[in-house]
Amino acid sequence: MKNLFLAALTLVFVSACSTVEMVNEYMPWYSGNSVESVGLKVNTGTAMNYAVSVDIVFAYDENLVTLLTSTSSDQWFKERQGYIASYGVNMDVIQRQIVPGYSELLDNFSERSALAKGVFAFAYYPNNPNAKAVLTEVATPWLVFDAAQMTMVSAAPGGATEDQE
């Protein structure tokens, strides 16, 4: 009888935990993001003879979101180690370098990425050291780079697929 009671109590506890998690998603304090994937594509051209460094940052703390909102890409790359040392447990950083003519689709994020309160992309390359985008509200953004600028589009540009030449 005691084992049956413990089994029932365990079942109620497990059900309650998953219900609370599901309800949390619909409460005002829940602040997830819409990002499902992030595509990166560097166009070819005579002026693009270098790789573009891109960091995708998932921020889980409101203070960090505020800080990153006002951080330039140039500042991010100069102080990245300091940000990671200070806020490391409150962020996930995906670092990539993409060369001209290639594209990559990033969609294998950490389990907690859906809970990020802000998602940012910082890019650094010689002709545009301050390319930055806020991705938080976009489900499938693609960041397209050319010699002069970074452009964010919501669909794969020109049929780009992962690691395409």
Our count of domains for the chain comes to 2
Q: Which helix (H) or strand (E) holds 14?
A: helix 2-24
Structural domain includes residue 91 = yes
Q: Which helix (H) or strand (E) holds 133?
A: strand 128-134
Cross-strand pairs, 145: 42, 150
Structural domain includes residue 80 = yes
Residue 74 has pLDDT above 70, yes or no: yes
Q: Helix axis angle, 73-87 relative to 62-69, nearest 10°?
A: 160
Helix (H, G, I), strand (E, B) or coil at 114: helix
47 Ramachandran zone, left/alpha/beta (phi>0; psi -120 to 50): alpha
Lowest mean pLDDT, pick from 9-13, 37-41, 153-157: 9-13
Structural domain includes residue 124 = yes
Q: Do residues 61 and 115 both lie within one domain?
A: yes
Higher pLDDT, 132 or 160: 132
**Residue ranges making up the domain that contains 1:** 1-29
Q: What is the pLDDT of residue 6?
A: 53
Q: What is the pLDDT of residue 106?
A: 97
Q: Do residues 12 and 46 both lie within one domain?
A: no
pLDDT digit string, tens, across residues 111-147: 999 999 999 999 998 878 789 999 999 999 999 998 8
- By DSSP bridging, strand 142-145 and strand 38-42 are parallel
